[in-house]
Amino acid sequence: MAHSSSWLTTCSPWSAFATLAALMTSALVLSYASSSFLNRQAAYEYDDPSSPDAESPPSAVAAAGALVPRKGPGYPPVFAYYITGGRGDCLRVTRLLKAVYHPRNRYLLHLDAGAGAYERARLASYARSEQAFLEYGNVHVAGKGDALDGRGPSAVAAVLRGAAVLLRVGQDWDWLVTLGAADYPLVTQDDLLYAFSSVPRDLNFIDHRPDSKTHHVVVLDQNLLQSTNAEISFSSGHREKPDAFELFRGSPWPILSRAFVEHCVAAPDNLPRTLLMYFSNTLDAAEFYFQTVMANSPRFRNSTINHSVRIDVPPPDADQQQSRYGTLVGSGAAFAGRFGDDEALLQKIDEEVLRRPLDGVTPGGWCARGSGEEGAAECAIGGDIDAVREGAAGQRLASLIAGLVGSGACDGCKS
């Protein structure tokens, strides 16, 4: 049997059923995400005051219109953040939001189906408690959590749905950043905006490499079919790699351009849809999907930078806390992942890198004059949201990105 069709078949009746169920579900997922973008229909329920479905008084609408970030030459970019967590992650998601907050950006907070209604309500309450979030109206909370397993295709489906919502609430952003509750920034948002200001807006920062495996395990992700979290099931069968397209894999935490996100959500051609169906019963689909779409797309394969400007947190060592901190900060990366419960390391980053006050947002050039400076307790609203005040970390990140941009496009892609 030709490889191009072998991915539609599996090695046992059980795995054949898994494939059929996943194919049907993935088609529904893509249709759902696409319709929410193209028809501007709500893809999530919201329970926060900044909901795009909520009715706002005229004064609030006028204020929001006056605070739209200016775009164009000479102005910083705009990031859209999809921040996700699970059961027990409410406080960590809130802390991460405050660490990466900037009035120019847009934020969607999502707790998966493992979290209860109380946790979601609590997260929405935190979003209401910060004056900046209310004033600038750029923080949204998903009122219903997606069922998912991070090892399965449901993780990809959740990102696509979140991206569809972010496209709906505002198409003024330039890049999509996906973060988990265990992640944390290594630079301020001013530093990030400064470093990306001179970067072409069509570039995608996506770690990728050709997949070397000849066979892949078949899995069934029941989270695509239900509303409560479930672990993925494994088949005893395998399937061969296709010859219709090349498989690529890499970090599941890329920084994607808006144009590429629109391409994946709206699926103007068959490639995103075909690959979504292919990976709908693949283990660790989040490490494959965006990389493979990018590498096989004539439009986007030459707009990739083989780096996600992210670093993994070194393993904990009680005797080398300072060394771990130095490794992270000295890397020049924008984000680090899998911090665990290392409060001491997070606190050090808050104090020495972000200058973030206890329970406050990271200050920046957008703070009103006289606030947000070193030693200030709070960052007062009312400043210029287009102002950027970079530091040494921003210059290190800009240097890293300049080197990456100059190194070329997709590694291993077809020309």
Phi, psi of 337 (to 5 degrees): -125, 155
Q: How far is CA 141 from the centre of its chain?
A: 15
Would the CA dihedral through 329, 313, 358, 126 be positive or negative? Answer: positive
Q: Terminus-to-terminus CA distance in the chain, angstroms? A: 28
C-alpha 199/C-alpha 207 separation (Å) is 17
Q: Are 235 and 219 in contact (CB under 8 A)?
A: yes
Quote the pLDDT of residue 324. Answer: 85
* CA dist., res. 195 & res. 390, Å (int): 9
Tell me how far apart the alpha carbons of residues 142 and 48 are, in angstroms, rounded to a whole number: 8
C-beta of residue 354 within 8 angstroms of C-beta of residue 189: no
Q: Are strands 106-111 and 79-85 parallel, antiparallel or unpaired?
A: parallel
Single pTM value for the model: 0.85
Distance from C-alpha of 321 to C-alpha of 204, rounded to nearest angstrom: 33
Asked if 94 and 179 touch (Cβ cutoff 8 Å), the reply is: no
Amino acid at 397: L
> What integer pLDDT is reported at residue 370 of this predicted model?
57
Helix, strand, coil share (%) of the chain residues, nearest 5: 40, 15, 45
**The CA-based dihedral angle spanning residues 106, 93, 308, 247, taken in that order and rounded to the nearest 10 degrees:** -100
Q: What pLDDT does 406 receive?
A: 77
Q: How far is CA 4 from the centre of its chain?
A: 31
Which phi and psi (to 5°) does residue 167 adopt? -65, -35
Find all residues with CB under 8 Å of 373, minimum gap 6, and list them: 363
Two tokens at 66?
A: 């006056």
Which runs of consecutive H residues, i.e. helices, occur in 242-338?
258-266, 270-278, 289-296, 321-330
User: Is residue 175 within a helix (H) or strand (E), and if so which, with residue range?
Assistant: strand 175-180
Sign of CA pseudo-dihedral 74, 364, 47, 66: negative
The whole-number pLDDT of residue 59 equals 28
Q: Are 215 and 236 in contact (CB under 8 A)?
A: no
Query: Rounded to whole angstroms, how far apart are CA atoms 278 and 225?
Result: 17
pLDDT in tens, the chain (415 residues): 334 434 444 445 544 545 555 555 455 545 545 444 443 333 334 444 444 444 333 223 223 433 678 888 889 999 999 999 999 999 999 999 999 999 999 999 999 988 888 999 999 999 888 888 988 999 999 988 888 888 888 899 999 999 999 999 887 899 999 999 999 999 999 999 999 998 999 999 999 888 877 667 888 888 787 888 878 878 777 777 787 888 999 999 999 999 999 999 987 788 998 898 888 888 888 899 999 999 999 999 899 999 999 999 887 765 566 688 889 998 889 999 888 778 889 999 999 999 999 889 999 999 876 555 554 456 778 788 998 999 989 998 999 999 988 765 555 565 4
